[in-house]
Amino acid sequence: MKHAVYQMDIIAGNPEGNRLRVEEWVENVCKMDRPDIIVLPEMWTTGYTLPELDKLADKEGEPTTSFLKRLASKYKIHIIGGSIANEKSGKYYNSSMVIDGQGELIYKYDKMHLVPMLDEPRYLTGGRKKVEVFELGGVKMGIIICYDLRFPELARTLALEGAQILYVVAEWPAARKEHWKALLIARAIENQMYVVSSNRVGSYDGVDFAGSSMIIDPWGNCIHTGSETEEETIIASLVLESVPKIRKEVPVFASRVPELY
């Protein structure tokens, strides 16, 4: 499964401009590298322009869902659509969409843990739907959004449901970049799964973002770490046979005693 991760710099408050940039990126990466799956970062249409969401957010996922569906069908790629600001019934959510290579929306998730350090609880509503795995190309996977990474129960729940890949889409600030790196590696080791992350670069409103998008194998080795400051395309092919192999070698799941904790 060949992945292309877009470590993107987001134009603040310019959904049309960001969609155009994503379209150009997808066209180039599909020409050069022919990935099976592409991964975008968190809130990539708007950045953290939370006070302006009444003007900038999608409504019921549109127009961004149709945009991603069109790209997926045109290039026959699966899309882990990062996340976008999304208005539903007068409330604003940080919503992810996953689109398969036929252009079908196969999974939606609203970020459940809102990050106080970026003022999300003031502007957004947290998702309250239970997380689930989804399947692409016969592989079970899960997605979480940025601050969710600090709550290990979420990744564990997805692993117990059979996820072999965890996607983490983010706008993680540089001030806590060591947490970002350590937590991504920890989630991969403790759940013995691939972790594929896309974090933005650049700055907004005095916050610098950490970049450092990482792809980590189920042993905890970093296959690739993105630059801290520059836009980048990260290409990696995942060898999924290593997941059951490592789970057999260090049988963490068989050794759990969940009735005691």
As annotated, the active-site residues are: 42, 111, 146
- Separation CA 4–CA 66 (nearest Å): 21
What's the rounded Cα separation, in Å, for the pair 41 and 193?
Answer: 20
H or E segment at 185? Answer: helix 177-191
* Cβ atoms of 113 and 148 closer than 8 Å: yes
Which CB sits closer to ligand LYUYDEPV, 35 or 109?
109
Q: Which residue is nearest to ligand LYUYDEPV (CB)?
A: 146
CA distance 224 to 66: 31
Residues that bind ligand LYUYDEPV (CB under 6 A): 42, 115, 117-118, 146-147, 150, 170-173, 176, 179
Could you count the other beta carbons within 10 Å of the beta carbon of residue 170?
A: 26
**HSE-CB of 249 using CA atoms within 13 angstroms:** 10
Toward ligand LYUYDEPV, which CB reaches closer, 117 or 250? 117
Minimum CB–partner distance for residue 76 and ligand LYUYDEPV (Å): 31
Q: How far is the CB of 23 from ligand LYUYDEPV (least distance, A)?
A: 24
Q: Give 68 or 170: the residue with its C-beta nearer to ligand LYUYDEPV.
A: 170
The least distance separating ligand LYUYDEPV from the CB of residue 42, rounded to whole angstroms, comes to 6
Token readout for 235 is 């290409």
Residue placing its CB nearer to ligand LYUYDEPV in the complex, 55 or 176: 176
Rounded Cα–Cα distance for residues 23 and 176 (Å): 30
Contacts of 178 (CB under 8 A, 6+ apart): none
Q: Minimum Å distance from CB 193 to ligand LYUYDEPV?
A: 20
